[in-house]
Amino acid sequence: MLDRADMLKQQARLIATGVYLLDLALVSLAFFLAHVLRDTLLPALGLDAFEAGLYPVERYLPLLPLALALWSVLLWSSGRYRSHRTVPLLAEASAILRVTATAAVLFALAVWALRLDERLLGDDRISRSWILLFALLAGLLLLAEKIALRATSRHFRVRGFNFRTVLLVGTNPAARAIAASIRGHRYWGYRVLGFVAGRQESGAPEPDVQPLLGTVDELPRILAENVVDEVIFSVSRRELDQFENLFLALQDQGILTRFALDFFPHTQAKMVLEELDGVPLVTFSTSPTGVAPLAFKRLVDVALAALLLLLAAPVVLLIASAIKLTSGGAVLFRQTRCGLNGRRFVLYKFRTMVADAHERRHEVEHLNEMNGPVFKASNDPRVTALGRLLRKFSLDELPQLWNVLKGDMSLVGPRPPIPEEVARYERWQRRRLAMKPGLTCLWQISGRNQVDFDRWMQLDLQYIDSWSPWLDFKILAKTVPVVLSGRGAS
């Protein structure tokens, strides 16, 4: 027999499934509406750009499963089907727009790639304006749906429907802050039943601890006399061992139980509850840990790196030949670098220096223009004439696309340091190793070698703390003009 907690979980899953199916229906509606608008309404307005009609909608239907798959993965990975009672509307709207923009870019790239193979799309030309209309309509419909669902649920919650009754165990500042937050957001759908004082909490309660229903020893009576959906324990670490029997009693009654964990109030790490072979673990992480978003990042890395390597093959052969002809020696420069959490790997670059550059390092130490443990010199005499050109436009880093395919690196991430530099890092700087290194990051689009070392490290940590797939796409888009202009390169 299901207890109350299991029933609530099943209800939440049922609602999430319903919203998910509605989302897919709206994306499908946008797919067909975009065709109608582009094929009939826009040409009827007499606009020259839209004078030609589209192929029949049947020619576009093979792209619908692709669109639904993209939106499905991105909506699920962005957490759109978790409870959003306490999520601000602006945050949800921003997430929907990011999902739509990312899906639109990937959809356009996929259509372009499919058109390269006549066996997949034949000679059909897929309208770019249709893709743009499809993305705009999908975003608008999804946004309107979320606003409507939120407005409807908040309308009923504010009027006392679909609310959950919460009992707070503890009267400390943290418990009072939780109560104040719940009472200040009625549309969340929570109602504070009252407070229960812990065993170590004595004396007159604070004025905002109202109503005080009793002590922990009276909790069974309080639960029997009131409707309680959730119990939140906000107590000290020393008291946790004393509440095991109470927790088991709440579990037997199917009452959802939460613990306000504030073990390390000064930590910046994100806390996640996980399970290892049945053992619950409280995980503190200062880097992204979401399986779906990171898997999506890896999928994009592999797809784009493979595509870029294919497109750049003639350039790669040309550069390799030029290096052989102008300076002799090896074409590729191999160097040990530190990757994710310090893992060592061999990084590949086109050689841009003379063959004995490493042995001559002591001759140019005085030219270092960068503070900290790194070496950067804009007028390094060891760099060849061809090497300067390759460095200016970052062409020397093309072989690192192979590192991306191998999994050593990502397209976007902090640049991989050499072990000697890592050995001289300060403690806070080592956190930049908590994410897989990449070809480009915030540092590259913020001036590259014109940025000092400490600012470089801060930009890497800023990237880690605010990472999302959408941030990666923005960095990649901003990297293109920076590379083409050669700004900040040395």
Tens of pLDDT along 340-382? 999 999 999 999 988 877 778 778 888 877 787 888 877 888 8
Phi–psi pair at 171, nearest 5 degrees: -125, 15
Phi–psi pair at 77, nearest 5 degrees: -70, -25
Tokens representing 374?
A: 């790194």
Q: What is the mean pLDDT of residues 122-139?
A: 78
Q: At what angle do helices 128-158 and 89-115 cross, to 10 degrees?
A: 160
Count the neighbouring beta carbons within 10 Å of the beta carbon of residue 333.
19
Instruction: For tokens 């299991």, name the residue.
Output: 6
Percent of the chain residues past pLDDT 70, beyond the cut: 85
Band (94; pLDDT cuts 50, 70, 90): confident
Percent of the chain residues past pLDDT 90, beyond the cut: 26
Contacts of residue 222, defined as CB under 8 A and 6 or more positions apart, other chains included, come to 167, 196, 213, 214, 228
Tokens representing 238?
A: 């020393």
Q: Which of 24-28, 212-216, 401-405 has the lowest mean pLDDT?
A: 212-216
pLDDT of res. 2: 42
Q: What global pTM score does this model have?
A: 0.63
Q: State the Cα angle at 306 between 305 and 311, rounded to 5°.
A: 95
Q: Which of 42-51, 392-401, 448-457, 469-478 has the lowest mean pLDDT?
A: 42-51
User: Does residue 315 surpass a pLDDT of 70?
Assistant: yes
Q: What is the mean pLDDT of residues 278-299?
A: 81
Count the neighbouring beta carbons within 10 Å of the beta carbon of residue 28.
16
pLDDT of res. 337: 95
Count the neighbouring beta carbons within 10 Å of the beta carbon of residue 171.
23
Beta bridge partners of 231: 167, 257
Amino acid 462 reads Q
pLDDT of res. 170: 84
pLDDT of res. 401: 96
Which one, of 387, 393, 386, lies nearest residue 479 by Cα?
A: 393
pLDDT of res. 48: 47
Q: What is the mean pLDDT of residues 283-298?
A: 82
User: Does residue 301 surpass a pLDDT of 70?
Assistant: yes
| Between residues 268 and 341, the one the model is more confident about | 341
Question: Residue 81: left (phi > 0), alpha (psi -120 to 50), or beta?
Answer: alpha
Task: Give the Cα separation of 68 and 145 in Å (integer).
Answer: 17
Tokens representing 417?
A: 């340091």
Q: According to the per-residue pLDDT averaged within each range, which of 30-44, 142-156, 165-179, 257-271 is highest? A: 165-179
Count the neighbouring beta carbons within 10 Å of the beta carbon of residue 96.
23
The pairing of strands 279-285 and 332-338 is unpaired
| Between residues 157 and 442, the one the model is more confident about | 442
| 38 within 8 A of 133, measured Cβ to Cβ | yes
Task: Give the Cα separation of 428 and 446 in Å (integer).
Answer: 21
Contacts of residue 155, defined as CB under 8 A and 6 or more positions apart, other chains included, come to none
